[in-house]
C-alpha cells in the first residue's frame, strides 16, 4: 500500500470519525430539543383544557362538560405535539384531533425516529359523562428535525467527497518527489552511485534530496577509497612477492658465489702463506671482503624478507628483529611483549604487521632520541589484534604534522585500513610518541 493511499485513507477515516461525532451530537441535540418541545406543548395543552373543564364546571349553564369540550376542541383544531381524544361515558369517541400536516412530505427513517422519539406521555381527565385523553405526539417535530439533519448529512457528504478529492490531488502533487527519491535509492542500491537528485520545491523533500546526494558522494568516495586500498594491498602483495623472490635469489645465487670466492681465497691464502706472502695477504683481503659482502647481503635479505617469518612465524621474527636492533643500538632499551597465539594469523597479516613494527621501530630509532622503546602485540580471547609501540623520546606535535607527506606513517595507516582497522598516533613534544593499532577479529579470520 502506497504512502499516498495510506495518508488518504487516514484522512478519510478522520473525516468519517468527525462526521460521525458531529452527527451524533446533532442527533442528540435534536432528541433533547424534541423532548423539551413536546413536553412544553403537552403542559400548555393540558393547562388550557383544564381551564376549559374548570370553567364548564363552574358555569353549568354552558352545558355538560363533554359538550363544552367537544365544541371547544372542534374550534381549536390541530394542537401541535398533542393528540387529543374525547370519549363519552360509554367509551365512544366524541372527538379526535386531526393529524399534523406539518412537513407531511418528509418521511424520516425508522432508525432516526427510534433515536430521537421521546417517551409518550398520556394525561387523562375524567369529566362528567366522559373522559378526556391527551397524548404527546412528536411526529411533526421529528419530521422537522429530520429535514434539518438530512440537509446537514447531504452537506457533510458533499464536503467529505470534495475534501477527499482535494486531499488526494494534493497528496498526488506533494508526494510526486517520493517516486524520484525511491528511484534514485533503487539505482544506488544496484550500484549506480553517480545518481543525483534535483532540487525540490518542498523544503522537506529538498533536504532529503541534498542528504541523499551527499550520501551518494560519500559512498562513491568510499568505494573509490576501498578500490584504492584493494589496489594498494595488491601492489604491496606483489612487492612482497618480489622481495621474497629477490631475497631467495640473493641467498641462493649470490650467496653461493660469495661462499665460493671466500673458499677459493682461503685455499689460496693457506697455500701461499710461506712461499708467496704477498699473494697470501691479498687472498686474506679477498676473504675479508667476501665476509663483508656476505654480512651486507644478509642485512639486505633481512630487510627484503626475513627468512624466520616463513619458517618460524611472526613471534620469532619480531624477537629476531628487536634483538638485531638491540645489537645495533645498545644505548636504547628495547622491550617486546607478545600475548596470545600470534603464529596462526596468516601470511598477509604476518608480513604487514612485521612491516608496521619494522617501520615504527626504524622511525623511533632515527627521530625519537628515545632511551626506551616498547612493543606490545596482543591477540586477545575475543579474537581482536592490538599493537602498541611507545617510546619516551622527544615526541612531536601530531596536529602540525602532515601525515600524507610522511610516507612511513602513511604506509602504516594504509596497511591498517586495509584490514578495516583503526590507526591512532598520540604524541606531545618532549613526552614521547605512542602508535596504537587495532584490528577487529572479522578482518583476522
The Cα 428–Cα 442 span in angstroms is 33
Range of the domain at 216: 189-241
**Which residues, given as ranges, of the chain have pLDDT below 70?**
1-3, 102, 251-252, 399-407, 445
Both 148 and 209 in one domain: the answer is no
User: What is the predicted pLDDT for the residue at 377?
Assistant: 92
Spatial contact of 34 and 81, defined as CB atoms under 8 Å apart? no
How many structural domains are present in the chain?
3
Residue bearing cell 706472502 = 277
Both 162 and 23 in one domain: the answer is yes
Among 138, 173, 208, the domain boundary falls at 173
Alpha carbon separation from 144 to 33, 60, 100, 112 (Å, rounded): 11, 42, 12, 12
Both 99 and 140 in one domain: the answer is yes
Both 87 and 228 in one domain: the answer is no
Question: For residue 142, which of 105, 112, 101 has the smallest C-alpha distance?
Answer: 112
Both 95 and 193 in one domain: the answer is no
Alpha carbon separation from 398 to 183, 211, 242 (Å, rounded): 45, 33, 34
pLDDT tens readout for residues 84-134: 888 988 889 988 888 777 677 788 888 888 888 888 888 888 887 889 898
CA angle 437–439–444, rounded 5-degree value:
145
Both 23 and 97 in one domain: the answer is yes
Q: How many CB atoms lie within 10 A of CB 405?
A: 8
Beta strand segments in 59-174, E: 82-88, 93-96, 122-127, 130-136
Among 173, 207, 230, the domain boundary falls at 173
Both 193 and 168 in one domain: the answer is no
Among 173, 203, 228, the domain boundary falls at 173
Within a domain: 302: no
Q: Is the pTM of this model over 0.75?
A: no
Within a domain: 130: yes
The Cα 297–Cα 129 span in angstroms is 149
pLDDT tens readout for residues 141-186: 888 888 888 888 888 888 888 888 888 888 777 777 777 877 888 8
Amino acid at each position: 500500500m502506497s504512502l499516498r493511499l495510506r495518508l488518504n485513507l487516514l484522512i478519510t477515516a478522520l473525516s468519517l470519525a468527525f462526521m460521525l461525532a458531529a452527527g451524533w451530537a446533532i442527533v442528540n441535540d435534536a432528541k433533547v430539543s424534541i423532548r423539551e418541545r413536546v413536553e412544553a406543548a403537552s403542559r400548555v395543552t393540558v393547562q388550557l383544557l383544564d381551564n376549559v373543564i374548570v370553567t364548564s364546571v363552574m358555569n353549568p349553564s354552558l352545558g355538560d362538560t363533554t359538550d363544552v369540550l367537544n365544541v371547544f376542541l372542534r374550534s381549536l383544531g390541530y394542537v401541535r405535539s398533542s393528540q387529543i381524544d374525547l370519549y363519552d361515558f360509554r367509551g365512544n369517541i366524541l372527538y379526535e384531533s386531526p393529524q399534523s400536516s406539518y412537513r407531511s412530505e418528509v418521511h424520516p427513517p425508522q432508525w432516526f425516529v427510534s433515536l430521537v422519539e421521546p417517551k409518550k406521555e398520556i394525561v387523562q381527565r375524567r369529566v362528567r359523562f366522559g373522559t378526556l385523553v391527551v397524548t404527546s405526539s412528536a411526529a411533526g417535530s421529528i419530521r422537522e428535525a429530520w429535514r434539518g439533519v438530512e440537509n446537514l448529512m447531504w452537506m457533510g457528504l458533499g464536503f467529505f467527497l470534495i475534501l477527499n478529492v482535494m486531499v488526494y490531488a494534493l497528496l498526488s502533487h506533494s508526494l510526486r518527489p517520493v517516486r524520484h527519491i525511491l528511484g534514485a535509492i533503487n539505482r544506488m542500491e544496484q550500484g549506480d552511485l553517480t545518481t543525483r537528485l534535483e532540487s525540490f520545491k518542498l523544503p522537506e523533500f529538498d533536504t532529503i534530496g541534498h542528504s541523499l546526494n551527499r550520501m551518494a558522494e560519500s559512498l562513491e568516495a568510499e568505494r573509490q577509497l576501498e578500490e584504492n586500498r584493494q589496489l594498494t594491498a595488491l601492489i604491496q602483495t606483489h612487492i612482497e612477492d618480489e622481495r621474497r623472490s629477490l631475497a631467495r635469489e640473493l641467498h641462493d645465487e649470490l650467496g653461493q658465489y660469495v661462499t665460493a670466492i671466500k673458499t677459493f681465497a682461503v685455499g689460496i691464502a693457506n697455500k701461499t702463506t710461506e712461499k708467496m706472502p704477498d699473494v697470501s695477504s691479498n687472498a686474506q683481503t679477498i676473504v675479508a671482503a667476501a665476509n663483508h659482502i656476505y654480512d651486507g647481503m644478509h642485512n639486505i635479505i633481512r630487510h627484503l624478507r626475513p627468512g624466520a617469518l616463513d619458517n618460524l612465524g611472526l613471534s620469532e621474527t619480531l624477537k629476531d628483529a628487536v634483538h638485531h636492533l638491540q645489537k645495533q643500538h645498545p644505548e636504547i632499551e628495547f622491550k617486546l611483549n607478545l600475548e596470545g597465539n600470534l603464529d596462526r594469523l596468516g601470511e598477509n597479516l604476518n608480513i604487514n604487521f612485521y612491516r608496521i613494527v619494522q617501520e615504527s621501530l626504524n622511525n623511533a630509532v632515527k627521530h625519537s632520541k628515545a632511551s626506551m622503546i616498547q612493543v606490545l602485540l596482543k591477540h586477545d580471547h575475543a579474537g581482536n589484534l592490538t599493537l602498541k609501540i611507545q617510546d619516551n623520546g622527544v615526541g612531536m606535535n601530531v596536529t602540525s604534522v602532515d601525515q600524507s607527506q610522511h610516507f612511513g606513517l602513511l604506509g602504516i595507516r594504509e596497511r591498517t585500513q586495509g584490514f578495516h582497522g583503526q590507526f591512532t598516533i598520540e604524541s606531545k613534544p618532549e613526552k614521547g610518541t605512542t602508535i596504537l593499532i587495532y584490528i577487529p577479529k572479522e578482518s583476522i579470520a
